[in-house]
Structure 1
Amino acid sequence: MFKYSIVIPVYNGDKYIDDIVSFFMSFNSIQLVFVNDGSTDFSIDKLNKFKEEEWIKVISQNNRGVSVARNLGLHHSDGEFILFLDCDDKYDEKIFDELNKRNLSDVNVFEFERNNIDGTHDSFTLPNVGIINSRNALLLFFFKKIRIHICAVCFRKKFLVDNKIKFKSGFKFGEDLNFIINAILSSEDVLFINESIFKYIINEQSVTQRKFNYHRFDALDVLLMEFNKVELDLGGEGKEAFQMYMLSVYYKLLCECVKSGSEIYFSDFSKRKNIILSTGLKFFIVKHVPVRIEFFLLKGYLKLIKFM
């Protein structure tokens, strides 16, 4: 029985595989679950070199996306706890020392660092509270007091399975948000770990993938799908926090769209704005103005209320 299974989707990530295996091979009670997501490079050849290792599983599927790959890896994992890792990101060497010294909960969130393409770094910290009830954890998240990355969370596998928590397929963006929100909603409490033990690395490929296109709306659509559940579980304050979070995502997408000059998508913003308004949003959102004007008005409003 492994204590930790690390689920790693791989799509054309052959240049990372050797380093990943080398990093984890010095730890005890660790299982790597690689899911080859229809790679067209030499990923499967490299992975097959390790498939005889007892602590490494190699699974292949046709290219169906990261959500299906993670769900498949979760299903085939044997560890008591699950971590998700993208092959171009990294954990700190002390990650398992930090996890092992704690009485882990069903959901355990740790601090992380983002390495930007220009060489700068951003650190995302957590309140030093230890255990926090799930409602308060989500309020902090929705009010943007904390950041949570899917690869900076350690989940108990039995908890995920019992609550049928999976990544939604068919989305290219926002599937992480959906998973995190559902996991915290389903938990009684969350353990905050005040150690930065994950590095999220922004590279050229990350920037290219995030250029504005229709799939960017997925990040907002998955939130809209969860509105009723959040309102039911968290009540009035949670509803308002979630509405503000949706508004901030709406503005972020609007900002990306305007800056990229992708005016063909303006009508799609109008459709989603009407859906947000239908949730009973009490805060400022402009109903009948051109998208470009709305962009500047929302920017000023969100800065005014310190929500950016």
Structure 2
Amino acid sequence: MSTKISVIIPVYNAEKYITQCIESLLNQTLRECEFIFINDGSTDKSKQIIEKYQKLDDRIKLLSQENQGVSIARNEGLRVANGEYIGFVDADDFIAKTMYETLYTTATRNDCDVIVSNFESEIEGHKTITKYSFPINVTLNKDYINHEILPYFLKEDNLNTGWNKIYKSKVIRENKVEFPEKVPLGEDGLFNMSFFSFADNMKYIDYTGYFYREVEGSATRNIVGKDYFNRAIEVYNMKLPALYKDLLEEKEIHKLRSIKLIKSVMSYIHVYFTSSNELGFSERFRYIETMISNKEVRKALLVCYGELNGTAGRYEKCILNLIKIKSTIGLYCVTAYSRFRNT
């Protein structure tokens, strides 16, 4: 049986959710899959749970390594993958039983290098579906990728993830596409920028088969272990693939990256003003005060304020203007009121 899709699943201390993840994979209507689990130094029972299922289904492969991070784990999975296409799943999440059949059928119908779909997020009990404004179910050529998709990665975060896509293995192998190692934030985005720069075509489908669960200790919840803002600054200043210099003028690149940084700051304000047992209020207050006064933020705000203010909703405009006047107390009041209204 030839393998149509290799699914790579990095695992680190995921025992609470991994059973649901594994069962959602094994229940796929597309049977010709392999599921490559990389145990990244887990200290809980994750490895034993995977081994139990491995005895029941030989499509499960298990590799183990010392804790080295998600990028090295995924690259190890890429090294041993045999599938025609590659998919990624996080061990805390799960997928619909038709997901890989839907994406694979779409990919092979037009020999696409990559398929993009929607995903559902559950954060603090609230579920949202991320969709895109790209043409639906249309084969998009390299010109579209160069002028719409690659710039999109500079401006937005919501296309960065690898979960809601399948990638043609041949493109990955021939161009040595991999996840950057020792990059604490933004590794998914850099992988995608690299892959899409080599892709000849793609397709976006209005289908939701991936279910993302934000859990305690995840990259978006661990506000003590993850210094979001400084990492966002690193992404803002990060060296881009050489292709971007040929696609866009430096001024346009700077504007798109500025938009992304300010949007990140706006989201971090909400994260840090949400009650937390990890940090006291005064520490969170000072963090935001430092963030909105940062010289890179002030520079980025000057570049993109007009565009963001022109497209933002009422709440976002309020946050944006409070950042502009450096009103930390105003930001606290507005975010507190927003949380009160949404409870």
TM-score using structure 1 length: 0.78
The offset of 1:20, in angstroms, is: 3.2
Q: What's the counterpart of residue 19 of structure 1?
A: 20
1:121: which partner in 2? Answer: 127
1:111 partnered with 2:118: yes
Q: Which amino acid aligns with 1:72?
A: E
Q: Deviations over 1:42-68 (max 9, x none)?
A: 222222334465322110000111111
Number of the residue aligned with 1:4: 5
Q: 1:205 to 1:267 in 2, by over 3 A?
A: closer
Tell me how large the CA RMSD over aligned residues is.
3.6
Aligned position for 2:242? 229
- List aligned pairs for 1:175-186, cutoff 5 A: 175-186=187-198
CA distance in 2, matches of 1:249, 1:145: 9
Query: Aligned pairs, how many?
Result: 292
Paired residue for 1:195, among 203, 207, 214? Answer: 207
Report matched runs for 1:155-194 at 5 Å. 155-194=167-206
Question: Which deviations, in whole Å up to 9, do the C-alpha atoms of 1:171-202 show, x marking residues without a partner?
Answer: 33322222222222332333212111111112
1:17 offset after TM fit, Å? 3.7
2:157 and 2:187 map into 1 onto residues whose CA distance is 21
**Which residue number corresponds to residue 75 of structure 2?**
71
Under a length normalisation based on structure 2, what TM-score does the superposition of the two structures give? 0.71
What secondary structure sits across from 2:242 in the alignment? helix
Q: Does 1:273 align with 2:296?
A: yes
Q: Which moved more, 1:81-90 or 1:181-190?
A: 181-190
* Structure 1 residues 150 and 62: alpha-carbon distance in aligned structure 2, compared to 1, 3 A threshold: same
Alignment partner, residue 57 of structure 1? 61
> Which residue in 2 is equivalent to 1:101?
105
Task: Determine if contact 2:214/2:221 at 8 Å carries over to the other structure.
Answer: no
Task: Answer whether contact 2:24 2:96 (CA < 8 A) is retained.
Answer: no
- Residue by residue over 1:66-108, the C-alpha shift from the partner in whole angstroms, topping out at 9 and shown as x without a partner, is 1111111111111111111101111112212312332352222
Q: Percent identity?
A: 24
1:235-246 mapped onto 2 (5 Å cutoff) = 235-236=248-249, 237-246=252-261
Residue 39 of structure 1 aligns to a residue in which SS? Answer: coil
Superposed CA deviations along residues 254-287 of structure 1, whole A, max 9, x for unmatched, are 665577634369768877718x95x9x84459xx
In structure 1, list runs of 5 or more residues that go unmatched.
286-290, 300-308
Contact map agreement 1:254 1:269 (CA 8 A) in 2: no
Q: Does structure 2 conserve the Cα–Cα contact (< 8 Å) formed by 1:81 and 1:157?
A: yes
